[in-house]
Amino acid sequence: MPSIRVVNFSKHFGKVKAVDNVTFEVEDGEFVALLGPSGCGKTTTLLTLAGIYKPTSGEIYFGDQLVNDVPPKYRNVGMVFQNYASIHT
Ligand SMILES: Nc1ncnc2c1ncn2[C@@H]1O[C@H](COP(=O)(O)OP(=O)(O)OP(=O)(O)O)[C@@H](O)[C@H]1O
Ligand SMILES: [Mg+2]
């Protein structure tokens, strides 16, 4: 697997800043958890890594590849949802 790089990533839903300028990197083989209070943007970040959301601004890289516009089926990313019926929690 390539590394994952999230650079100055923001995702806004109208006036709601679900994620506001986040930068982090995950190396190949690292096991990383996003930890934070309810509503801080963890799920929104994961959905964007999976390609379900596009960033409002910023860049997502898998290795050297900018994947902002790569659809989910071409990302080779698995995601297990928090709830079966809703992606909004
Ligand atoms: N599709 C959406 N439309 C509008 N607002 C949204 C949407 N998805 C998330 N939000 C809002 O964005 C913010 C971040 O939500 P998100 O679900 O990413 O948080 P979270 O860290 O996963 O929270 P939790 O720990 O409760 O799962 C919240 O204020 C949420 O209400
Ligand atoms: Mg969540």
For the chain, the domains span: 4-74
User: What order of strands is seen across the sheet that includes strand 16-26?
Assistant: 16-26, 4-13, 57-62, 65-66
Query: Exposed, middle or buried: residue 45 (CB in 10 Å: 0-12, 13-18, 19+)?
Result: buried
pTM, two decimal places: 0.93
Nearest to 63 by CA among 31, 25, 11, 13: 25
4-74: CATH, from 3.40.50.620, 3.90.79.10, 3.40.710.10, 3.40.50.300: 3.40.50.300
From the CA of 18, which ligand is nearest? 1
- What are the tens digits of pLDDT across the range 18-49? 999 999 999 999 999 999 999 999 999 999 99
Radius of gyration of the chain (CA): 13
48 lines ligand 1 (CB under 6 A): no
User: Which is the closest atom of ligand 1 to the Cα of 82?
Assistant: 27
Question: Which protein residue's CA is at the shortest distance from atom 29 of ligand 1?
Answer: 39
Place of tokens 């839903």: 13
Give residue 65 CA to ligand 2 midpoint distance, Å.
26
**pLDDT for res 86:** 63
